[in-house]
């Protein structure tokens, strides 16, 4: 457990130092190519697509987690201490989340069409007709929602189940991101989408609690909690609206997907509130990470006494 606490700290440092290098050999890139191979609805008769989704989802998650489990089970402690932070880091993306958001903000500030194109790489909605505020909203919606998906959940499952837990989660979340849509992929993607809802249920609420703690420190607890209670359910799904609403209330912004939901009250524009949003995500990440590190360390020292 003490070693696991050190792994979390080192993985976070690696993430801040190098981000998410783009490489075809990145574990998640390899995972994505495998999902892209089997996740083609036309490969299966319509009557078998749901069953295929279940079988391939579980098989993919288990296969992806297997090498992580082998490292955890078989590597000597000194090799584990080298490999584990890199493997855990491959399962979450903190710096990259900020970089993608910053790219949209900078592009939209210079040329709206470039901003629309940049945010189209972060979200699945149509972006060609978005105005500047809604381009920024789409970017910050993705960032705040992914506080759970990209950061808190992988750390949570590492804390519970080690490297294989973080890897299993990353596989499920990636399958949801690639297949969980109400289009021709719906039958094939229904199971990873529902499984993603389940595995993110507790981490999303941990993220919300961390944000409330941060905004309490900033003197904005009541504002954050009010919008969290009022608006979290406006976003479809069980989980994504929680960090979005907590941040919208705490910062004083509105996050809006036109025709679908509007979360928060616009006390300030997204153009002026960007740094506060990033700071909230950073603070929540550090709160969750520090609690996890402390818990793993204390459990480890207690088990050795």
Convert the pLDDT of each residue in 254-274 to its tens digit.
Answer: 999 999 999 999 999 999 999
Residue 175 neighbours by CB under 8 Å, 6+ apart: 35, 39, 57, 60, 61, 189, 192, 196
Distance CA 23, CA 21 (A): 6
Q: How confident is the model at residue 21 (pLDDT cuts 50, 70, 90)?
A: confident
CB 39 within 8 A of CB 118: no
CB 62 within 8 A of CB 175: no
Quote the pLDDT of residue 303.
Answer: 76
Residue 9 neighbours by CB under 8 Å, 6+ apart: 289, 293
Quote the pLDDT of residue 305.
Answer: 64
Which of these, 298, 64, 34, 300, lies nearest to 178 by C-alpha position?
34
3-state secondary structure of 107: helix
pLDDT tens-digit series, residues 178-218: 999 989 999 999 999 999 999 999 999 999 999 999 999 99
pLDDT at 47 over 90: yes
Q: Which residue has the tokens 């509007």?
A: 262
Full-model pTM: 0.95
Q: Which of the 8 DSSP states describes residue 151?
A: I
């Amino acid at each position: 457990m003490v070693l696991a606490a050190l792994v979390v700290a080192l993985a976070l440092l690696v993430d801040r130092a190098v981000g998410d290098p783009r490489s075809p050999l990145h574990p998640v890139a390899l995972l994505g190519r495998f999902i892209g191979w089997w996740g083609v609805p036309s490969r299966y008769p319509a009557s078998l697509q749901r069953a295929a989704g279940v079988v391939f989802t579980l098989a993919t998650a288990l296969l992806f987690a297997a090498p992580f489990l082998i490292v955890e089970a078989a590597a000597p402690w000194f090799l584990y201490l080298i490999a584990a932070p890199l493997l855990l880091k491959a399962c979450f993306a903190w710096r990259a989340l900020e970089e993608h958001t910053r790219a949209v903000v900078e592009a939209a500030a210079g040329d709206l069409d470039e901003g629309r194109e940049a945010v189209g790489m972060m979200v699945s909605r149509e972006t060609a007709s978005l105005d500047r505020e809604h381009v920024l909203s789409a970017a910050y919606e993705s960032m705040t929602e992914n506080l759970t998906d990209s950061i808190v959940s992988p750390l949570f499952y590492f804390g519970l189940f080690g490297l294989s837990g973080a890897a299993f989660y990353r596989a499920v979340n990636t399958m949801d991101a690639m297949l969980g849509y109400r289009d021709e992929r719906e039958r094939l993607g229904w199971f990873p989408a529902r499984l993603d809802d389940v595995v993110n249920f507790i981490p999303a609420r941990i993220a919300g609690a961390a944000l409330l703690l941060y905004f309490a420190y900033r003197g904005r607890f009541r504002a954050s909690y009010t919008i969290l209670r009022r608006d979290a359910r406006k976003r479809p799904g069980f989980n994504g609206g929680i960090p979005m609403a907590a941040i919208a209330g705490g910062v004083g912004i509105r996050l809006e997907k036109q025709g679908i939901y509007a979360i928060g009250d616009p006390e300030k524009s997204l153009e002026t509130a960007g740094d506060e949003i990033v700071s909230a995500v950073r603070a929540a990440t550090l709160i969750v990470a520090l609690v996890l590190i402390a818990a793993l360390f204390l459990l480890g020292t207690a088990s050795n006494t």
